[in-house]
């Protein structure tokens, strides 16, 4: 095991995150492709109530991270009022996942409502790597369109992340307003999503799980990327459990076909699916069974790719002729005619939903697409942590029947 620092002030209390992994070559983005176990080991003088983990000691690149099969991270704990469990009151449960439960809470420090993501610590397994990865990333990502991590609380049984409270997500918002959203609101939501992703991608961070459930929406209309805990996977299984099917809807064809050469284009496909879904009110590619059913939904509309239009696609592990139907591609607007109701809507959707990941538009370029030409130029001058709703004339419109004229 390698220590991060050999010497430290005696006043600093310590906790160690020990990651055991198989060294795996991967391209530049932070993360571990195959994590076997992550344990939280506290020294005897570390109590159960301390402040934010220091994550700036975590290696920034995968090359540094993969030098040894075992890597030890030091997390420093201080004496601030943050990190103490009594600083927060747990209210009603908001949701539950495989390793965490989210509660609405109240902060006695700020007198504000917060969201408490409570992660159960298994005695043998320790803290899930996804949780540590999420904390390390959110500590560094400070942006108006990325959810804010306020605090971390560690006890013997749980690790709790204290987030800003945002009252709904895009999935719930679309359920509340069926049939497609007001087009001007779609434009604002998409702009904010791209703005947040552009910030991440500039810092070599991929979200890897862009879907409506992970996009929080405030009462004002602010969209915030959430849930940065998805671990990097080598491939996508061809058989999934029911709770994984929804995520497949927003997964790009290159990943569905088994590619592990991830890039920012992975996130951009999900953006395209969400854009079309906001416009139409229905999922863009709603597969119901497995990976090949999902691919069939995509190829029926966009066409089955060949090496002529996507070099090397037939060499991907999941490209099996006997499992893939052959279809000719067509314009997205023919399958989703409502895209033609929006100025440059079909053009934007097509730029995002390119089968070949090399052809997909990036977040920075998408922000400058003609689709956004009606927005105030001042939006492009905002500091990272400033909301677009601080600009005069930018506000969320009442949801009703989507406009029938081009906007």
Q: What is the pLDDT of residues 123-168, one digit of tens each?
A: 555 666 777 777 777 888 899 999 999 998 888 888 899 999 999 9
Say whether both 100 and 225 belong to one domain: no
- My answer on whether 234 and 359 are in the same domain is yes
Confidence (pLDDT) at 59: 36
117 annotated binding-site participant: yes
Query: Do 136 and 264 share a domain, yes or no?
Result: no
Is the confidence at residue 329, as pLDDT, over 90? Answer: yes
**Do both 17 and 44 map to the same domain?**
yes
Is residue 46 in a domain?
yes
Mean pLDDT of the chain: 78
Claim to verify: residue 128 and residue 223 sit in the same structural domain: no
Please say if the pLDDT value at position 42 is more than 70: no
Q: Over 50: is that where the pLDDT of 41 sits? A: no
Is 395 inside any structural domain? no
- Token reading at 18: 């020990």
Q: What is the CA radius of gyration of the chain?
A: 22
**Which of residues 141, 164, 187 is at a domain's end?**
164
Tell me whether residue 1 is in a domain.
no
Q: Is 396 a residue whose pLDDT tops 90?
A: yes
The pair of three-digit structure tokens given for residue 285, joined into one six-digit string:
């590619």
pLDDT (0 to 100) of residue 269: 98
> How far out from the chain centre does Cα 238 lie?
22
- Same domain? For 336 and 294 the reply is yes
Residue 189: strand pairing partners: none
Share of the chain above pLDDT 70, in %: 72
Q: Residue 380: is its pLDDT beyond 80?
A: yes
- For residue range 163-217, what is the model confidence (pLDDT) as tens digits? 999 999 999 999 999 999 999 999 999 999 999 999 999 988 888 899 999 999 9
* pLDDT for 135: 79
Q: Are residues 204 and 254 in the same domain?
A: yes
Would residue 79 show up in a list of annotated catalytic residues for this protein?
Answer: no
User: CA–CA separation, 19 vs 211, rounded Å?
Assistant: 28
Residue 156: predicted pLDDT: 82
In a domain, 175, yes or no: yes
**So what's the pLDDT on residue 218?**
96
pLDDT score at 137:
79
The answer to whether residue 406 scores a pLDDT higher than 50 is yes
State the catalytic residue, choosing from 151, 169, 209, 290.
209
* The pLDDT value given to residue 51: 30
pLDDT digits (tens, 9 = 90+) for 219-259: 999 999 998 765 332 222 333 323 344 489 999 999 999 99
Question: ∠ CA 67-266-145 to the nearest 5 degrees?
Answer: 95
Predicted pLDDT of residue 12: 31
Residue ranges making up the domain that contains 61: 13-77
Q: In CATH, what number is assigned to the domain containing residue 226?
A: 1.10.510.10
Q: What is the pLDDT of residues 265-301, one digit of tens each?
A: 999 999 999 999 999 999 999 998 899 999 999 999 9
Judgement on whether residues 154 and 180 belong to the same structural domain of the protein: no
Domain count, the chain: 3
Do 286 and 271 belong to one domain?
Answer: yes
pTM tops 0.75 = yes
Say whether both 135 and 54 belong to one domain.
no
Task: Give pLDDT, residue 140.
Answer: 83
Residues 279, 223: one domain? yes
């Amino acid at each position: 095991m390698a220590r991060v620092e050999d010497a430290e002030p005696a006043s600093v209390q310590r906790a160690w995150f020990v990651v055991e992994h198989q060294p795996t070559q991967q391209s530049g983005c932070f993360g571990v492709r195959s994590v076997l176990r992550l344990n939280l080991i506290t020294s005897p003088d570390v109590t159960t109530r301390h402040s934010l983990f220091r994550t700036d000691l975590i290696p920034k690149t995968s090359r540094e991270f993969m030098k040894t099969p075992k890597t030890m991270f030091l997390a420093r704990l201080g004496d601030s009022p943050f990190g103490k469990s009594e600083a927060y009151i747990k209210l009603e449960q908001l949701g539950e996942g495989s390793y965490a439960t989210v509660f609405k809470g109240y902060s006695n420090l700020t007198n504000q409502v917060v969201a408490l993501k409570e992660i159960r610590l298994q005695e043998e397994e320790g803290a899930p790597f996804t949780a540590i990865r999420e904390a390390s990333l959110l500590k560094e990502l400070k942006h108006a369109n990325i959810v804010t991590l306020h605090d971390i609380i560690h006890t013997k049984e749980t690790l709790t992340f204290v987030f800003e409270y945002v009252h709904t997500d895009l999935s719930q918002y679309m359920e509340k307003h069926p049939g497609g959203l007001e087009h001007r609101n779609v434009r604002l939501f998409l702009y904010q999503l791209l703005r947040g992703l552009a910030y991440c991608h500039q810092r070599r961070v991929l979200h890897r799980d862009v879907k409506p459930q992970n996009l929080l929406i405030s009462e004002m209309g602010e969209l915030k990327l959430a849930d940065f805990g998805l671990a990097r996977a080598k491939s996508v299984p061809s058989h999934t459990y029911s709770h994984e099917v929804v995520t497949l809807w927003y997964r790009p064809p290159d990943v569905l076909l088994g590619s592990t050469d991830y890039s920012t284009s992975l996130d951009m496909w999900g953006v395209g699916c969400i854009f079309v879904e906001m416009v139409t009110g229905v999922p863009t590619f709603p597969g119901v069974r497995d990976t090949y059913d999902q691919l069939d939904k995509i190829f029926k509309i966009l066409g089955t790719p060949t090496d002529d239009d996507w070099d090397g696609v037939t060499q991907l592990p999941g490209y099996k002729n006997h499992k893939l139907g052959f279809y000719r591609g067509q314009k997205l607007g023919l399958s989703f005619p409502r895209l033609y109701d929006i100025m440059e809507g079909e053009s934007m959707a097509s730029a995002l939903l390119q089968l070949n990941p090399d052809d997909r538009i990036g977040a920075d370029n998408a922000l400058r697409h003609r689709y956004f030409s009606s927005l105030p130029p001042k939006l492009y001058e905002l500091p990272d942590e400033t909301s677009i709703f601080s600009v005069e004339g930018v506000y969320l419109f009442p949801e009703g029947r989507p406009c029938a004229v081009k906007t």
